[in-house]
A and B are shown apart, each in its own frame.
Chain A
Amino acid sequence: MIDVSTVSEVGNLGVATTINRAAYLTNLLSLRSPLTDDLRWLQEVRDRATARVQELALPSTRDEEWRFTDLSSLLATEFKAVSGEPSTISQAAIAPYLLPEAANRLVFVDGIFLPELSVAADLPANAFIGNLTAAYREAALRDRLLNQLGKQPGAEETFTTLNTASMTDAAVLYIPSNHVVEAPIHLLFLSTTGQASAITHPRCLVIVESSSSLTLVEDYIALDASVYFTNAVTEVWVEANAQVNHTRIQRDSQTAFHIGKTAVSQARDSHYTCNAISLGAALSRHNLEVYQTGEQTHTVLNGLTMIADQQVADTHSLISYTQPYGTSNQVHKCIVDDRAHAIFNGKIFVPKAAQLTDARQLSKNLLVSPKARVDTKPQLEITADNVKCAHGATVSQLESDEVFYLQSRGIDENSARKLLVYAFAYDVISQIPIVSLRDTLAANVRVPHRKHGSIA
């Protein structure tokens, strides 16, 4: 679509930007790595997505879905292909990020799987944790890969398509029926300076068969890297009566770009919980989409965005009901400091067939500085008539009465502010089922250092 402005002075500019936006994605395709011989079977999937990417343009703020999130800074940044040898990373370098509770982990560095840092032990028989190449070697998994990789609804969205077209590997988790995997599984995606200005396309495929349960941590980490672009896609299949607890931490560098998709399909009687924490990146977007495909599914979405400086963090969520007796409970919190800007858009679709649905959504926002900004929009589309749906949004500031209460007990103003911000974040952080991660996040709650008011 070419959109020419009628105002003559800016007319040229308008065309130039439109053309750039179209060429931009094609240009990104030229940066992808070729498939290894083991993954020849994936070529067709990549080719189809490639053809589609060539028809797409980088979204602009004229697109309703990107109204508040301007990708111009992404457009203005030049990225490079991941090239040469993967960065050498020692066990010691990743030690601070490891979770003692997690028995199994997969480590990807600048998009490349590092088996020497990964651990897959203590797994139930026939379960699989590994990269895509290894997964395809498992005869029992082949059909699953062919039928489920890239097959979630919404896969045609621009950045998801770009990821599919650029995919060179993936983290694959497969838990067969009737297995409870107790220890959490940790997926680490690290970015290093070894690959400056790299664009990577992390990909995860998670399949949890009926009546099994899994706890998963998906973790995006900057290891001394600065400017880079992470375009991640995770697909989660929660089969009948299965339970998945999924924690997603985005702690990319403050100058990075992060666009992430989490697409989840839930079969009947299944439970899915997502704890999504966004801390890093100059510009980030998380598209969280849950498709309930069977009756009596249960979805819990806990979100926390903590940003400062000039960061922009956008969360767009979708819960799509199709069947009766489903429930969902969503709480999204944003703590915004300095001139940062948080965006939340929460869609919930309840069509006529989804009777007796119980959907709750709450967006709570704390602005810690006068220049901080938040745009929050619940978007409930309900055509079923016998449902319970509740939503609410609040925007608040640190109340001087609360700060004063703490000061009147001898706690200095900065500590008081920190304690109150922590308290705001706490009910999301406390949902994370991994103590060490909870503690790390709690310690990371930013202190808004500011002096305000005067003594009486």
Chain B
Amino acid sequence: MICEGSEVILSVRDLTADVDGTQILKGLNLEVKAGEIHAIMGPNGSGKSTFSKILAGHPDYTVTGGEITYLGQNLLEIEAEDRARSGVFLAFQYPIEIPGVSNTDFLRIAYNSKRKHEGLEELDAFDFDELLQSKLNVVKMNPAFLNRSVNEGFSGGEKKRNEILQMALLEPKLAILDETDSGLDIDALKVVAGGVNELRTSENAVVLITHYQRLLNYIVPDYVHVMESGRIVTTGGKDLALELEARGYDWIREEEAEAIAR
């Protein structure tokens, strides 16, 4: 929901970034306010995941220009773990497996790092378990998954649910969901979307990266952005997603070329 005068959570200006010496982001601008849902669409390789990982603080990417302000602070000066603790959350396109670390332990350590950061007392295993059980309902996850190693042997859909479970637990201020819907069957999609909707408030914001407008039937965006070659080239309302699905991305390129010609 768009509210006049609500808090600016994220402001990205003229962001450029490299990976291994190749420029990927080429002047990206985006402003996200509290209560809003933004969708970012765009062809493969346009830099969507790169952008999301830069927001989360991945060390492989070098920001070469522009700025990112998160809640009034320079995000680029904050370590990845402190970004997470202060409310930045990235649901990964490809969540990794960590054999040997139980999901419960992982979630508890993550949750307690955040509590510690907020000056709160850490939860013991017992209290944490209770909290976790309540969050399981959000993603309708089988508790058996908690005793398994993080993501190990999880199906694609189970990994994505696990990402949303982490989100439910960490209650981020800014959630970036990188293709959380890709490859999900319709039931899983509804569960994930329901989880996201349940967690959104007028205080936080969500950035959804997706290729499919189907997700946007369940999570209705306030803005739809199209990313192309490392920049956001078009922004519209939720109808833009329908148009993209029907017409592909080429017409945007053409319009852009025309605009430049003019």
Cα–Cα distance between A425 and B98 once the two chains are bound (Å): 12
B141 at interface (Cβ–Cβ under 8 A)?
A: no
Question: Which residues of A lie under 8 Å from residue B58 when comparing CB positions?
Answer: 404, 408, 456
B81 touches A456 (CB 8 A): no
Q: Among the listed A411, A419, A420, A455, which residue makes an inter-chain contact with B57, where contact means beta carbons less than 8 Å apart?
A: A455
Interface string of B97-121 (1 = CB under 8 A from A): 0111100001001100110010000
Tell whether B80 is near chain A: CB-to-CB under 8 Å. Answer: yes
Given contacts A409-B166, A423-B149, A456-B57, contact A402 B96 (CB under 8 A): yes
- Residues of chain B within 8 A of A413, CB atoms compared: 79, 81
Q: Which residues on A sit within 8 Å (CB–CB) of B170?
A: 409-410
Per-residue A-contact encoding for B53-70, CB less than 8 Å = 1, 0 else: 110111111110000000
Contacts of B59 in A (CB 8 A): 400, 404, 452-456
> What per-residue 1/0 map shows which CB atoms of A418-438 lie under 8 Å from chain B?
011011111100100000000
Interface flags for B167-193 (1: CB within 8 Å of A; 0: not) read: 000100000000000000000000000
Residue in A400, A410, A423 whose CB lies within 8 Å of B101 = A423
Is the CB–CB distance between A427 and B113 below 8 Å?
A: no
Which residues of the partner chain A approach B57 to less than 8 Å between Cβ atoms? Answer: 404, 407-408, 455-456
Give, as a whole number of angstroms, the nearest-CB distance from B173 to chain A: 13
Residues of B within 8 Å of A399, CB to CB, are 96
B99 contacts which of A404, A427, A453 (Cβ < 8 Å)? Answer: A427
CB of A412 closer than 8 Å to a CB of B:
yes
Would you list which residues of chain A between 311 and 356 have a CB under 8 Å from chain B? Answer: none
Fill in one digit per residue for B36-62: 1 if any A CB lies within 8 Å of its CB, else 0: 000000000000000001101111111
B92 → chain A, closest Cβ, in Å? 7
Interface size for A (C-beta < 8 A) is 29
Q: Is the CB of B98 within 8 A of A455?
A: no
Partner of B113, one of A412, A423, A430, A453: A412
Chain B residue nearest to A405 in the complex (CB): B96
Per-residue 0/1 for A88-109: is the Cβ within 8 Å of any B Cβ (1 yes, 0 no)? 0000000000000000000000
**Closest CB of chain B to A401's CB: distance in Å?**
6
**A292–B14 Cα gap in the complex (Å)?**
69
- List, in ascending order, chain B residues with CB within 8 A of A404's CB: 56-59, 80
> Which secondary structure dominates where chain A touches chain B?
helix
Name the A residues within 8 Å of B96 (CB-CB).
399, 401-402, 405
A444 to chain B, nearest CB (A): 15
Q: Are A407 and B80 in contact (CB under 8 A)?
A: yes
Q: Which residue of B90, B98, B166 is within 8 Å of A419 (Cβ)? A: B98
CA distance A456 to B58 in the complex (A): 6
Contact, CB under 8 Å: A411 / B109: yes
> Would you call A419 and B109 a contact (CB within 8 A)?
yes
Query: Which residues of chain A come closer than 8 Å to B92, judged between CB atoms?
Result: 405, 408
- B76 on interface, CB distance cutoff 8 Å: yes
Any chain A CB within 8 A of the CB of B84?
Answer: yes
Q: Are B84 and A407 in contact (CB under 8 A)?
A: yes
| Contact residue among A410, A424, A456 (Cβ-Cβ distance under 8 Å from B110) | A410
B2: interface (CB < 8 Å): no
Would you call A255 an interface residue if the criterion is a C-beta within 8 Å of the partner chain's C-beta atoms?
no
Q: Would B100 and A411 count as touching, CB distance under 8 A?
A: no
Q: Which residue of A lies closest to B59 (CB)?
A: A453
Tell which of B60, B84, B149 touches A409, judged by Cβ atoms closer than 8 Å.
Answer: B84
B62 touches A455 (CB 8 A): no
Q: Which of B80, B95, B100 contacts A424 (CB 8 A)?
A: B100
Q: Does A415 count as interface, using CB distance less than 8 angstroms?
A: yes
Q: Could you tell me the distance in whole angstroms from the C-beta of B214 to the nearest C-beta in chain A?
A: 27
Q: What distance in Å separates the Cβ of A411 from its nearest Cβ neighbour in chain B?
A: 6
Report the minimum CB–CB distance from A304 to chain B (whole Å).
12
**Does B85 sit within 8 A of A, measured CB to CB?**
yes
- The yes or no answer to B131 lying at the interface (CB within 8 A) is no
- Say how far B86's CB is from chain A's closest CB, in angstroms: 9
Residue of B nearest to A408 (CB): B56
> Does B224 belong to the interface (CB within 8 Å)?
no
B61, B77, B84, B99: the one contacting A410 at CB < 8 Å is B84
What CA separation (Å) do A401 and B93 show in the bound complex? 12
List of B residues within 8 angstroms of A415 by Cβ = 109
- Minimum CB–CB distance from A293 to chain B (whole Å) comes to 36
Cα separation A409 to B170 with both chains bound (whole Å) = 8
B219: CB under 8 A from chain A?
A: no
Instruction: Report the bound CA distance from A430 to B101 in whole Å.
Output: 12
- With most chain B CB atoms within 10 A of its CB, the pick from A408, A410, A424 is A410
Q: Kindly name the residue among B79, B95, B98, B117 whose own CB sees the greatest number of chain A CB atoms within 10 A.
A: B98
In whole Å, how far is B209's beta carbon from the nearest beta carbon of chain A? 15
Q: Closest residue to B79 on the A side, CB-wise?
A: A455
For the complex, give the distance between the alpha carbons of A405 and B77 in Å. 19
Contact B98 A410 (CB under 8 A): no
A425 to chain B: closest residue by CB: B100
Q: Which residues of B contact A454 (CB under 8 A)?
A: 59
- List, in ascending order, chain B residues with CB within 8 A of A426's CB: 99-101
Residues of B within 8 A of A407 (CB): 57, 79-81, 84
Which B residue's beta carbon lies closest to that of A426?
B100
B132 at the interface (CB under 8 A from A): no
B9 interface contact, C-beta 8 A: no
Q: Are B85 and A410 in contact (CB under 8 A)?
A: yes
Q: Which of B76, B84, B117 contacts A408 (CB 8 A)?
A: B84
Chain B proximity of A308: nearest CB distance (Å): 20
Which chain A residues lie closer than 8 Å to B166 at the CB level? Answer: 409
B241 on the A face (CB < 8 A) = no
Q: What 3 pairs across the A-B complex have the smallest Cβ distances?
A: A423-B100, A453-B59, A426-B100
Q: Could you list which residues of chain A lie within 8 angstroms of chain B, going by C-beta atoms? A: 399-402, 404-413, 415, 419-420, 422-427, 430, 452-456
Other A-B pairs, 7, CB within 8 Å; known A404-B80, A410-B81, A427-B100:
A405-B92, A408-B80, A409-B113, A410-B114, A412-B113, A422-B100, A456-B59
28 residue pairs bridging A and B, Cβ less than 8 Å apart: A400-B60, A402-B96, A402-B98, A405-B98, A406-B98, A408-B57, A408-B80, A408-B83, A408-B84, A408-B90, A410-B85, A410-B117, A411-B110, A411-B113, A412-B81, A413-B79, A420-B98, A422-B100, A423-B100, A423-B149, A453-B59, A454-B59, A455-B59, A456-B17, A456-B53, A456-B54, A456-B60, A456-B62
